[in-house]
Every structure is written in structure tokens, then in C-alpha cells.
Amino acid sequence: FFLYDPRTKQRTMKFATLLIAAAAVTTSAFTPHQPRSHSTSRSFSSRFSLSSSTMPICIVVEAEIKEDRMDEFLDMIEKNAIGSRAEPGCIRFDVLQAEDAPNKFFFYEVYENTEAIAHHKEQPHYLAWGAFKESGGTLSSVSKKASGKFMT
């Protein structure tokens, strides 16, 4: 996979580096995190505990983009990622690019709760993604929802 960073517009990350990064993320999931600038002063671990009835909700989207619409897509998804990360209740929004198919992308989104997802779906940057799909910009798009487990 390539990691697409919309801030630097870099799309280069080797698979081994991705594995190392995934291991670091997994390890750090069990340690307290610094609060995000838009969140309260509580750490991630104090907002979510194994005994909490509200665990984070993860959304994984796999999208294949029409090759002739890639520039438009990259511009739109950069704005979507930046806007989503600024939303209250959005813990994470990553955009990954498949190494073996440069027009295939994965979005990894983590939200505090269903209310945060509902808020996200009302935002202009999310609606732009829907409009892009409706205009025929994707060959396919599949979303999966999962509950956070073993997160602190």
C-alpha cells in the first residue's frame, strides 16, 4: 500500500514501512494518547475504556476510482480528509492507496460514536464524496462498519 498524505501530497510508503507503522499504532492503542487539538483535555484512554458502553466506531471504505477522474478525486478526498479530521468526534481519518492498483483507495475512519458519524454525513466535504460517486467517478465503493475493540 501507499499512504497518501494530503498535507504533503506524498503517496509513497513501502509495505514494510506500513507494517512497522501498523505495529506502532497497535502498540500505541494500549497506551494513553495526547488529546487532539479540537477535543477536550481528556486523553483518548480516558474517553474510551473496556468498561465503557460507548466504543469508537470504525468505517473502512474501499473505493476504485475511474482513472480519468483521479485528479478530481485527489483534490476532493484531500478536502474531505482535512475537513473530517477537524470535526468534533472524528478520532482518525486516513486515506491509503493500494500499491498494486493506483486507482484503488482505502479510507480508515474512526469516530467517537454514532452521533459523530451522523454529524460527519451532514458536512459539505462528505457530501462532495457522495456527489463524486453519483457523478460516476468511482468504479466501485464498499463501506464496512466495525465497533472498536481492545482500544483504550
Instruction: Please report the pLDDT score of residue 9 as a whole number.
Output: 52
Question: Would you say residue 2 has pLDDT above 60?
Answer: no
Instruction: Please report the pLDDT score of residue 25 as a whole number.
Output: 44
> Does the global pTM surpass 0.85?
no
The one-character DSSP state at 67 is: G
Task: State how far the alpha carbon of 84 is from the alpha carbons of 23, 39, 50, 99, 122, in Å.
Answer: 24, 13, 26, 24, 11
Convert the pLDDT of each residue in 72-105 to its tens digit: 999 999 999 999 999 999 999 999 999 999 999 9
Query: 100 and 1 in contact (C-beta within 8 Å)?
Result: no
Convert the pLDDT of each residue in 27-73 to its tens digit: 334 333 344 444 443 444 444 444 345 789 999 999 999 999 999 99
Convert the pLDDT of each residue in 9-21 to its tens digit: 555 444 444 434 4
Q: Give the SS3 label for residue 107.
A: strand
Question: Would you say residue 137 has pLDDT above 50?
Answer: yes
